[in-house]
Amino acid sequence: MGIIAKMAAVACRGVRTVLGKSAGTSILTHQSAKFSTLRDMATARKAVLAAMGVVGGGAAGLAYALNQSVKASDLELHTAKFPWSHDGVFSSLDHASIRRGYEVYKNVCAACHSMKYIAFRNLVGVSHTEAEAKEEAMGVQIDDGPDDEGMMFKRPGKLSDYFPNPYPNDEAARSANNGALPPDLSYITSARHGGENYIFSLLTGYCDPPAGVSVREGLYYNPYFVGGAIGMAQALYNEVMEYSDGTPATASQMAKDVSVFLKWAAEPEHDDRKKMALKALMMFSMLFSITYYIKRHKWAVLKSRKIAYKPPQ
């Protein structure tokens, strides 16, 4: 009792006297007084110290807030978080959007960017029927060979072919783009911070460089790109192409659709994963209730027993 009361008195000096009284010893009051540094200080001094503390804390808070407010003006702009329809825990990708996004990729981005890990057969059942996907594949020329005479030849694509690379090799790609290599877009949403948010911001973010910033010849200003100067010119303008489903092809619509398409390309298991999560949650909640019931059942004997001590007679 003595020790515990002492420790309590040290912990809360403010209620020292009350505790001292309840403990009923003069030693306690005396001991706890030794731990107080403020006790002998004049009231005015305390007030000055408190005021200094408040002013100092306020100044530190202000400095922190000011520092935070200028953080965004680092070398690049951080992308906003957009309200994608597939954001929900159980929401699938928008497949009409994937289909439009494929059209954007094919008509605009494919001029410079490869997607070497995506095959035409991957589109089947996702954005296209099998016949449509075959037709898409037939539309590209694939290098094949050698034939019987040892010659390489070109043939129309098949479902099993991967999206063709617009350039024969990286060197050709670089020389056609002022030395910048257009990255393969198959996994780009997983390869960049912000994923599809970043792609959308990047594609719609082109603007004039701010005062005092100049970009080298052949580079373009984009605040979302690290460093601000990107080797890719703005690719999307209103009406650069037409959608087959009649959706007005505004720059932001195309940017959104191609972002969803690239999200699907990088995570084709996205919808299955969320469906599986739903099944797993249902299964686990069932198993949990059964397990809980059995646990209560098995332990009932032990939990409801009463232990009594019978002193020897």
Where is the binding site for heme c, in residues? 109, 112-113, 232
Mark the segment that binds ligand HEC (CB under 6 A) among 30-38, 132-140, 182-190, 294-302: 182-190
- The nearer residue to ligand HEC, 183 or 268, going by C-beta atoms, is 183
Q: CB–CB of 108/236 below 8 Å? A: yes
Is 183 a binder of ligand HEC (CB under 6 A)? yes
CA 141 – CA 168 distance, rounded (Å): 13
Q: Give the pair of three-digit tokens for residue 183.
A: 């990255």
Tokens 């027993």 belong to residue: 305
Which residue in the set 19, 188, 260, 266 belongs to the binding site for ligand HEC (CB under 6 A)? 188
CA 137 – CA 122 distance, rounded (Å): 11
Which residue in the set 117, 231, 234, 241 belongs to the binding site for ligand HEC (CB under 6 A)? 231
Mark the segment that binds ligand HEC (CB under 6 A) among 33-41, 78-86, 175-183, 291-299: 175-183
Is 266 a binder of ligand HEC (CB under 6 A)? no
Is 98 a binder of ligand HEC (CB under 6 A)? no
Count of Cβ atoms closer than 10 Å to residue 288 Cβ: 10
Q: Give the pair of three-digit tokens for residue 218.
A: 């052949």
Region of 145 please: left (phi>0), alpha (psi -120 to 50) or beta.
left
Which residue in the set 23, 112, 118, 119 belongs to the binding site for ligand HEC (CB under 6 A)? 112
Q: CB–CB of 199/259 below 8 Å? A: yes
Is 232 a binder of ligand HEC (CB under 6 A)? yes
Which residue in the set 111, 278, 282, 290 belongs to the binding site for ligand HEC (CB under 6 A)? 111
Is 29 a binder of ligand HEC (CB under 6 A)? no
**H-helix or E-strand containing 293?**
helix 270-303
273: amino acid identity, one letter: R
Contact residues toward ligand HEC (CB under 6 A) are 104, 108-109, 111-113, 177, 180, 182-183, 188, 192, 199, 202-203, 225, 230-232, 235-236, 258
